């Protein structure tokens, strides 16, 4: 209890305290019984009946105890510096400066006596709680001793001269240091008075195009009678060449600065060339408020005495108190024991040293209800002890635990027997009956959930031991794991069969990418059906859906369902992905039959070329993915001199596309790749004359990668953009890759996203997948958009993109 400090000197009133409830005195007829509480526990938390417990004898007593509250009083001298804004109260006393502290200390004895009397009165008042007095100030000051003098710093004026301008209201300019001018800050000058010449770029020389007359011999050829003759004559022709000349606009690359006109300095803009500015400390006033007196003109001291209180509590028992009473005192704290007491009343208040009281003691007499019950259960006698107004258990003598241990032993034996059934056993009936008996006791479920949650003290710690809690957790989790695993052994082939059927059915209509996705969806559906089957089995065994859901929650917290889920999901996922990769690609039927060449038999791995081959047909084959047939057709066309085929042929040769690969063929060596690039270059050069889009793209790649060309990334990007503007999907793809990877230039996700989007709009499955990757990582976006990424990958997977199929299957790239 912390009363408000006194300010008027009136100490006669008692301290106010919150009203405490009247002492509780329980009669024998109104008090709850230990036997009733025990039977309620058995009925509510176990599967057993209350009649299984038979009372033998009961001893209900009120144990005496003493609660002592010790209050230590401490009179503390408080001192403060004050100024002219101090407002004394009517009881405060003005005195000489040297008398402030002594006069305040003189009140110490009186304040302690008043505080002790006030505390004694409060403790003896009706309804005062034993712990109503709180640590802190108990009796505030009644009188302040104070004194004020004129401030020496400002001589009582409250203002002092400014420490910067010393009353002049101005200070030296900080920019020019009073010099009124500063160095010229114009670009290139920086105080020199000269800047670079813009005509010659500071070199002092310019290039001029000079015309010259030169004599050349001009041949003339005349054709006559199937022969020819050549004659020569001279002509004067004008030629132009670049000549370096001295720049006449500057002097060795420098010209006079227009800002400072060659002087190298300009007028200070801060002080406007005056050399001084308004004082920044006093804002031009010339003086400042005095800090010691805060502008009041007076300073001094004040002192007073406050009385603080520090309460301490302890509990004691009579010498003849039984052992269980001492155990209760050690288990419960002072405040908890006082709250559990049947009654708690003040016996006496003692003040030590009436002349200079520094301690006040209050002694309370309390009574604590202790009930001792002797009971029999299953032919065994037990001694139980409960205490307090709410009958908390001190000991249950394992009476409830022994009831539950029979069910736990039966479950443990069934679990041990199940381990000998063999690896492929799927029978669960032998586990369900003992599991039902253990789960029927709600106390077991409470204990397991508390242990799995990592609580420091498991639920019902006063009812069952930590050893029992550990055993019931081990047995129940082991039984649930066996139930999950054995049901999974019965179910796994059904999920795998459903995934295979879904994958084949969808593949027949939409291709293997969509078939793999359908198989994965069927796997998820099979997993949900398996969970429903587990819930149905547990609900039938445990007696309801609520009990089954609680058992599944316990299995989930303990991680005992992981092996079963692996057995159900792994075969189904493997079947779905195997079908996605193993089923053949479905090709669109050709609209017209391709006539065969009437030439010699075609060797293995060599594509047949139709008689009506053309560059347009080769391009369509390339875009439809039949690159081997396209290359074979282009090879025939370029040998016939078809200029329209040069560009695509050069591109495919450069990139190594359409070449049939033999089984076990290794990756091309660096020499083989260089030879391929050299073979492609002439065809690309010829096609560039026709501005072919594939030739432009191929030339761009050669410049970007340094293949048969000097690296030139700006030129490479320009050529690729020209190709992309002609609708070339490969050029769009390469532009996106170069920008997203930052090849010889900064990474530009926005530009990469633009080119990938253009390629995706033209049906490029690989670029749809790349856009999904950028969405997944948030490249070019404010934040990652993984829902959009997964949607793009599903589209690409339906088009047969293998990377997208894998990303959809595993839920990430």
Could you tell me the pLDDT band of residue 250, with boundaries at 50, 70 and 90?
confident
pLDDT tier for residue 21 given thresholds of 50, 70 and 90: very low
Q: Indicate whether 388 and 405 sit together in one domain.
A: no
Q: What is the average pLDDT across 422-440? A: 74
- Give me Rg for the CA atoms of the chain: 50
Beta strands 170-172 and 254-256 are unpaired
Worst-scoring range by mean pLDDT, 379-393, 585-599, 677-691? 585-599
- Of the two residues 22 and 675, the one the predictor is more confident about is 675
pLDDT (tens digit per residue) in 61-87? 999 999 999 999 999 999 999 998 999
Q: With respect to residue 431, please indicate whether it lies within any of the assigned structural domains.
A: yes
Within a domain: 595? no
DSSP codes of every residue in 650-671: HHHHHHT-SPPPPTTPPPPPHH
> What's the confidence (pLDDT) of residue 306?
94
| Least confident among 167-171, 194-198, 446-450 | 446-450
The DSSP secondary-structure symbol of 270 reads: T
* Domain end (from 340, 368, 393): 393
Q: State the DSSP code for 434.
A: H
What pLDDT digit, counting tens, does each position of 271-319 carry? 988 889 999 888 988 889 999 999 888 999 999 999 999 999 999 999 8
Please report whether residue 8 resides in a domain: no
End-to-end CA distance of the chain: 66
State the pLDDT at residue 547. Answer: 80
pLDDT at 397 over 80: no
Distance from C-alpha of 10 to C-alpha of 4, rounded to nearest angstrom: 12
Q: CA 119, 123, 128 angle in degrees (round to 5)?
A: 130
Q: Are residues 138 and 247 in the same domain?
A: no
CATH number for the domain spanning 684: value is 1.25.40.10
Alpha-carbon span 769 to 751, nearest angstrom: 17
Which of 393, 412, 441 corresponds to the end of one domain? 393
Query: pLDDT tens, 595-631?
Result: 332 333 333 444 566 666 788 888 888 888 788 888 8
Residue 766 inside a domain? The answer is yes
What span, in angstroms and rounded, lies between the C-alpha atoms of 646 and 618?
11
Residues 713 and 786 both lie in one domain: yes
Q: Mean pLDDT throughout 466-480?
A: 84
Number of domains making up the chain = 4
Read off the pLDDT of each residue in 538-552 and give the average, rounded to a whole number: 82
**What confidence score (pLDDT) does residue 66 get?**
93
Most confident of 108-117, 547-556, 647-656, 672-681: 108-117
Q: What is the pLDDT of residue 307?
A: 94
Residues 6+ apart with CB under 8 A from 203: 247, 253
What percent of the chain clears pLDDT 70, i.e. is strictly above it?
A: 89
Q: What percent of the chain has pLDDT over 90?
A: 17
Range of 21-30, 217-226, 340-349 with top mean pLDDT? 340-349
Residue 157 resides in a domain: no
Distances (CA, A) of 615 to 5, 633, 646, 651, 691: 104, 8, 9, 14, 15
Where does a domain end: 378, 393, 408? 393
Examine residue 156 and state whether it is found in any structural domain, yes or no.
no
Same-domain pairing of 699 and 792: yes
Q: Is 654 in contact with 647 (CB distance < 8 Å)?
A: no
Mean pLDDT in residue range 191-209: 83
* 625 & 761 share domain: yes
* Secondary structure (3-state) at 385: strand
Q: How large is the average pLDDT for residues 755-773?
A: 89
User: 439 near 473, Cβ under 8 Å?
Assistant: no
Residue 493: band (very low, low, confident or very high) from pLDDT cuts 50, 70, 90? confident
CA distances from 511 to 209, 228, 710, 811 (A): 68, 71, 44, 20
Span of 284-298, 412-426, 718-732, 768-782 with lowest mean pLDDT: 412-426
799 and 650 within one domain: yes
Residues 415 and 562 in one domain: yes
More confident residue, 217 or 502: 502
The Cα 533–Cα 526 span in angstroms is: 10
347 and 375 inside one domain: yes
Q: Which of 156-165, 277-286, 461-470 comes out lowest in average pLDDT?
A: 461-470
**Most confident range, picked from 108-117, 397-406, 781-790:** 108-117
pLDDT at res. 661: 63
Outline where DSSP puts E strands in 225-358: 227-246, 254-256, 265-267, 276-278, 287-289, 298-316, 343-352
Between β-strands 359-377 and 53-83, what pairing exists: parallel, antiparallel or unpaired?
A: antiparallel
Task: Specify whether 447 is located in the same domain as 381.
Answer: no
Sign of CA dihedral 645, 648, 651, 657: negative
In this structure, the answer to whether residues 518 and 406 fall within a common structural domain is yes
Q: Distance between CA atoms of 179 and 173, rounded to whole angstroms? A: 8
- Mean predicted confidence (pLDDT) in 168-193: 88
Average pLDDT score over residue span 210-217: 74
Conformational region of residue 656, where left means phi above 0, alpha means psi within -120 to 50, and beta covers everything else? left
Rounded Cα–Cα distance for residues 153 and 367 (Å): 68
Q: Does residue 165 lie within any of the structural domains? A: no
pLDDT at 224 over 90: no
What whole-number distance in Å separates Cα of residue 648 and Cα of residue 730? 11
pLDDT score recorded for residue 662: 56
Model pTM above 0.85: no
Higher pLDDT, 48 or 795: 795
Question: Is residue 506 packed enough to be buried (19+ CB in 10 Å), middle (13-18) or exposed (0-12)?
Answer: buried
Cα angle vertex 458, ends 330, 538, to 5°?
155
| Average pLDDT score, the chain | 82
Determine the Cα–Cα distance for residues 182 and 174; give it in Å rounded to an integer.
11
Any domain includes 346: yes
On the question of pLDDT at 669 being above 50, the answer is: yes
- Domain with 191, as residue range(s), is 170-219+231-287
- C-beta separation of 361 from 66 below 8 A: no
- Co-location of 444 and 377 in the same domain: no
**Ramachandran quadrant class, 460 (left: phi over 0; alpha: psi -120 to 50; beta: rest):** left
pLDDT of 214 strictly over 80: no
- Cβ-Cβ contacts under 8 Å for 227 (sequence gap 6 or more): none
- pLDDT value of residue 471: 85
What is the rounded average pLDDT of the residues 453-462? 76
- Whether residues 129 and 254 share a domain: the answer is no
């Amino acid at each position: 209890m912390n009363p408000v400090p006194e300010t008027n000197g009136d100490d006669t009133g008692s301290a106010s305290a919150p009203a405490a409830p009247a002492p509780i005195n329980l009669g024998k007829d109104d008090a709850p019984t230990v036997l009733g509480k025990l039977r309620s526990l058995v009925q509510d938390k176990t599967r057993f009946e209350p009649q299984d417990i038979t009372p033998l004898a009961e001893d209900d007593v009120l144990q005496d105890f003493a609660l002592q509250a010790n209050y230590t009083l401490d009179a503390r001298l408080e001192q403060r510096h004050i100024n002219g804004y101090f407002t004394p109260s009517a009881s405060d006393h003005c005195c000489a400066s040297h008398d402030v502290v002594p006069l305040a200390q003189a009140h110490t004895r009186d304040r302690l006596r008043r505080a002790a009397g006030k505390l004694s009165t409060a403790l003896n008042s009706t309804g005062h709680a034993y712990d109503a007095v709180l640590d802190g100030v108990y009796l505030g000051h009644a009188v302040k001793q104070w004194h004020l003098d004129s401030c020496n710093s400002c001589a009582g004026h409250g203002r002092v001269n400014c420490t910067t301008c010393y009353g002049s209201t101005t200070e030296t300019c900080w920019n020019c240091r009073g010099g009124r001018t500063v160095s010229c800050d114009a670009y290139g000058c920086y105080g020199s008075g000269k800047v670079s010449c813009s005509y010659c770029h500071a070199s002092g020389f310019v290039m001029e195009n000079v015309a010259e007359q030169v004599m050349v011999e001009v041949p003339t050829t005349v054709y006559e009678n199937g022969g020819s003759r050549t004659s020569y004559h001279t002509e004067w022709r004008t030629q132009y060449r670049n000549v370096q000349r001295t720049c006449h606009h500057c002097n060795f690359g420098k010209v006079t600065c227009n800002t400072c006109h060659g002087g190298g300095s300009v007028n200070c803009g801060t002080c406007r060339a005056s050399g001084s500015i308004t004082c920044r400390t006093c804002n031009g006033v010339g003086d400042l408020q005095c800090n010691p007196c805060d502008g009041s003109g007076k300073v001094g001291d004040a002192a007073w005495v406050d009385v603080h209180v520090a309460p301490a509590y302890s509990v004691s028992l009579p010498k003849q108190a039984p052992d269980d009473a001492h155990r209760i005192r050690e288990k419960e704290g002072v405040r908890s024991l006082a709250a559990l007491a049947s009654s708690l009343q003040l016996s006496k208040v003692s003040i030590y040293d009436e002349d200079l009281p520094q301690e006040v003691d209050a002694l309370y007499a309390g009574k604590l209800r202790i009930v001792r019950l002797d009971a029999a259960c299953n032919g065994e006698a037990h001694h139980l002890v409960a205490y307090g107004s709410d009958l908390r258990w001190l000991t249950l003598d394992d009476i409830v635990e022994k009831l539950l241990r029979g069910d736990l032993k039966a479950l443990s034996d069934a679990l041990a027997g199940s381990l000998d059934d063999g690896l492929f056993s799927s029978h669960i009936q032998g586990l369900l009956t003992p599991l039902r008996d253990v789960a029927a006791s709600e106390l077991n479920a409470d204990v397991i959930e508390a242990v799995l949650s990592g609580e420091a003290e498991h639920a019902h710690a006063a009812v069952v031991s930590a050893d029992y809690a550990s055993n019931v957790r081990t047995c129940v989790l082991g039984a649930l794991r066996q139930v999950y695993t054995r049901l999974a052994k019965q179910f796994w082939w059904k999920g795998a069969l459903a995934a295979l059927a879904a994958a084949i059915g969808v593949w027949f209509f939409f291709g293997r990418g969509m078939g793999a996705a359908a198989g994965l969806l069927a796997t998820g559906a099979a997993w949900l059906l398996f969970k429903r089957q587990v819930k149905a089995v547990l609900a039938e065994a445990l007696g309801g859906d609520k009990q089954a859901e609680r058992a599944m929650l316990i299995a989930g917290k303990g991680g005992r369902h992981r092996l079963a889920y692996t057995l159900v999901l792994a075969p189904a996922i493997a079947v779905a992905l195997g079908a996605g990769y193993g089923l053949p690609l479905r090709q669109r039927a050709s609209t017209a039959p391709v006539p065969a060449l009437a030439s010699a038999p075609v060797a293995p791995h060599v594509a047949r070329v139709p008689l009506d081959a053309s560059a347009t047909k080769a391009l369509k084959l390339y875009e439809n993915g039949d690159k081997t047939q396209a290359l074979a057709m282009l090879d025939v066309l370029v040998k016939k001199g078809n200029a329209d085929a040069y560009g695509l042929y050069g591109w495919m040769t450069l990139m190594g596309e359409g070449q049939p690969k033999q089984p076990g063929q290794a990756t091309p060596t660096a020499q083989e790749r260089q030879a391929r690039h050299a073979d492609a270059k002439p065809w690309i050069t010829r096609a560039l004359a026709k501005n072919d889009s594939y030739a432009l793209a191929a030339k761009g790649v050669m410049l970007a990668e340094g293949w048969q060309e000097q690296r030139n990334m700006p030129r490479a990007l320009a050529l690729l953009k020209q190709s992309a503007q002609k609708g070339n999907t490969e050029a769009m793809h390469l532009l996106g890759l170069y920008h997203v990877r930052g090849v010889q230039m900064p990474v530009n996700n926005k530009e990469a996203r633009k080119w990938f989007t253009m390629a995706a709009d033209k049906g490029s499955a690989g670029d749809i997948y790349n856009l999904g990757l950028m969405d997944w990582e948030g490249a070019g976006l404010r934040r990652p958009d993984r829902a959009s990424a997964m949607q793009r990958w599903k589209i690409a997977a339906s088009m047969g993109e293998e990377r997208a199929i894998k990303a959809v299957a595993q839920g990430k790239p």
